[in-house]
């Protein structure tokens, strides 16, 4: 056992000693931009001074994090514990650290000074204040925040400012001043768990990674055509017939675990129940609610690439709405956020058009266009959510098809010529949606499930500015509340999720947090490479940024499988 610990000590020694280092693709393509110093934060703060070259050192036994909270707040308590584990290496590493024979200036305290010290909010919401100020000097570090959410963001920045020196000591720059706040209030990630089931521990790990990038919304696309993996108490047959297997189900306990973990990281969880399309798994329990597709006068006729034998909710069946109300009521009782995402995307009309019963019903209703049929359905579902005391988010298709929405509805923009040539430009959609008074969330340029070779994809994502070609007035600009990366899981599961998300999503996170003028990808790649190395040390298996190295991480991961579980949640407290 002692011999094994000695091997691990050497592993961690090498693991921490080497700094991130980028190399060129080829000699004829030299690296551009300015190399960042160690301890450079990601995303870049709103303001950060030019720090001195004087260093302060950190030692776990001497360093404290204290808060001025007047009430016991588990959010602060948990994150003090969490970030101590993130900042400091395992004790096993300290066994190989030689005692210093010189006097070092140690930073001994980080004070959390929260204005709302008598308030421990239960859950993050759309109005949470995430701003903070951070100052570091030889007298100590002070983190000022209006709320606990700002304190969490400041703790993350503080952890990133620490780094290992060439002589393998943990240090931070003296005389550092940071004033920080997010550019956009909504900074999200969609994960699709219907096409591939993503295990709960891996979802929790992604929530940690989101917090490392100051992202604050987890959009859970939990069900779709392929599977319905959510446990339902009211209609258990939907889960039983819609799931892949008994093992591929999120129980209510699982969902509450995810929501609780997200809460402690300052992240909202918004569930999506997508309809009237994307409902084949739901329809296995209620086939009578799906539209029967016809061809040549015969029902249940699939046409490859056009329609299935039966698909899309049949809006003319009035019995479907009480069932949807019960399902959405269960969503409301299980998920705590003020918003429920109702989908309503990709409602292709071919099956509706083929069905003679639907055509006859539309004549009785004086509906001349099939988008009127979609509007009928969408209006009913939106009203259900409103009556349940929740607000709705929808994909832009509902708006595009002329559905009149409540003004509190958020519209998520996903269409663009880069996705399908028949679409318009996402900037035009943003202009139109905000012109009509709706809050808009941009996703079109940030579909990170698309993969290509020979191009730094993070670079492309980083160059997107939501306000590029935005022609709206100031009131419209306030309605552009942020953006969201989308990871659809046709070719993603728990095995490759880390490398598909990170550091590509890191680039998007900086676009949504940092000021607009922080936009040079050539400079950013050096900080991004450092961030990628942080992620590796924190258990997130992020893909490389360019050629180069990031310590002996591969040897450590191969030889220290015993540590794999704790890599998911910060440093092991050995």
**Residues labelled catalytic:** 346
Per-position DSSP letters for 10-31, written without gaps between them: HHHHHHHHSPPEEE-SSTTSPP
Question: Among 253, 140, 196, which residue's Cα sits nearest to residue 496?
Answer: 196
Query: The tokens of 413 are what?
Result: 């923009």
On the CB side of 192, CA atoms within 13 Å amount to 22
Nearest to 71 by CA among 114, 120, 27: 120
Q: Can you list the positions of beta strands (E) in 13-156?
A: 21-23, 47-48, 55-57, 64-67, 109-114, 132-137, 140-145
- Contact in structure between 132 and 180 (CB atoms under 8 Å): yes
End-to-end CA distance of the chain: 15
Q: Which two tokens stand for residue 510?
A: 């900086």
CA dihedral defined by 102, 105, 108, 113, rounded to 10 degrees? Answer: -170
- The two tokens of residue 288 are 């009578």
Mapped onto helix, strand or coil, the DSSP state of residue 340 is: strand
SS3 letters for 418-453? Answer: CCCCCCCCHHHHHHHHHHCCCEEEECHHHECCCCCC
Q: How far apart are CA 244 and CA 229, in angstroms?
A: 7
Whether residue 185 contacts residue 52, with contact meaning beta carbons closer than 8 Å, is answered with: no
Residue with tokens 């110093």: 37
Place of tokens 């893909």: 543
CA distances (Å), 543 to each of 99, 499, 529, in order? 36, 5, 10
What tokens were used for 148? 């606990």
Instruction: Tell which residue, 500, 480, 402, has the closest CA to residue 439.
Output: 480
Residue 485's nearest CA partner among 518, 441, 541 is: 441
142 Cβ contact list (under 8 Å, min separation 6): 110, 111, 113, 134, 135
Q: How far is CA 421 from CA 60, 348, 351, 376, 442, in A?
A: 56, 17, 23, 28, 18
Residue 360: phi, psi to the nearest 5? Answer: -65, -40
Report yes or no: 227 and 281 within 8 Å, Cβ to Cβ: yes
Cα 242 to Cα 223: distance, rounded to the nearest angstrom = 9
């Amino acid at each position: 056992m002692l011999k094994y610990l000695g091997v691990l000590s050497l592993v961690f020694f090498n693991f921490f000693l080497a700094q991130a280092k980028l190399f060129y693709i080829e000699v004829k393509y030299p690296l551009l931009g300015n190399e960042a110093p160690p301890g450079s934060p990601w995303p870049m703060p709103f303001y950060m001074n030019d720090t001195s070259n004087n260093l302060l050192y950190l030692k776990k036994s001497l360093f404290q994090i204290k808060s001025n909270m007047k009430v016991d707040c588990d959010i602060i308590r948990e994150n003090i514990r969490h970030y101590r584990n993130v900042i400091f290496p395992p004790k096993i590493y300290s066994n190989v650290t030689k005692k210093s024979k010189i006097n070092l200036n140690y930073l001994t305290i980080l004070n959390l000074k929260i204005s709302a010290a008598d308030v421990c909010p239960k859950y993050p919401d759309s109005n949470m204040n995430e701003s903070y100020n951070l100052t570091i000097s030889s007298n100590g570090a002070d983190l000022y925040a209006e709320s606990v959410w700002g304190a969490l963001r400041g703790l993350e920045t503080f952890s990133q400012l620490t780094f290992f020196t060439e002589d393998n000591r943990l240090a931070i720059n003296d005389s550092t001043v940071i004033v920080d706040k997010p550019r956009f209030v909504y900074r999200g990630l969609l994960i699709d768990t219907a096409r591939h089931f993503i295990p709960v521990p891996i979802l929790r790990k992604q929530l940690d990674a989101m917090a490392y990038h100051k992202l604050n919304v987890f959009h859970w696309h939990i069900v779709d055509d392929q599977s319905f993996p959510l446990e339902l108490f009211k209609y258990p047959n939907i889960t039983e017939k819609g799931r892949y297997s008994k093992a591929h189900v999120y129980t209510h306990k699982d969902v509450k675990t995810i929501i609780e973990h997200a809460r402690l990281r300052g992240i909202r969880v918004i569930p999506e129940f997508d309809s009237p399309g994307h409902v084949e798994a739901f329809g296995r329990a209620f086939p009578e609610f799906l539209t029967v597709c016809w061809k040549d006068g015969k029902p249940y006729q699939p046409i490859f690439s056009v329609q299935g034998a039966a698909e899309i909710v049949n809006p003319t069946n009035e019995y479907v709405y009480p069932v949807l109300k019960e399902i959405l009521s269960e969503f409301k009782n299980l998920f705590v956020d003020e918003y429920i995402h109702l989908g309503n995307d990709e409602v292709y009309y071919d099956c509706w058009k083929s069905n003679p019963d639907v055509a006859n019903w539309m004549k009785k209703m004086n509906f001349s266009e099939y988008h009127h049929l979609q509007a009928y359905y969408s209006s009913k579902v939106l009203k259900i959510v409103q009556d349940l005391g929740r607000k709705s988010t929808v994909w832009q298709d509902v708006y595009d098809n002329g559905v009149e929405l409540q003004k509190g509805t958020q519209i998520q923009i996903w269409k663009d010529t880069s996705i399908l040539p028949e679409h318009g430009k996402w900037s035009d959609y943003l202009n139109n949606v905000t012109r009509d008074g709706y809050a808009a969330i941009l996703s079109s340029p940030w579909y990170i499930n698309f993969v290509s070779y020979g191009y730094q994809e993070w670079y492309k994502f980083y160059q997107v500015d939501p306000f590029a070609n935005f022609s709206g007035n100031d009131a419209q600009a306030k309605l552009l509340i942020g953006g969201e990366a989308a990871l659809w899981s046709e070719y993603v599961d728990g095995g490759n999720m880390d490398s598909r998300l990170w550091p590509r999503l890191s680039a998007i996170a900086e676009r949504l947090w940092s000021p607009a003028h922080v936009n040079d990808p050539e400079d950013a790649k050096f900080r991004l490479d450092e961030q990628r190395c942080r992620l590796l040390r924190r258990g997130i298996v992020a893909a490389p940024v360019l050629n180069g190295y990031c310590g002996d991480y591969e040897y450590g991961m191969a030889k220290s499988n015993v540590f794999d579980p704790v890599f998911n949640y910060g440093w092991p407290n050995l």
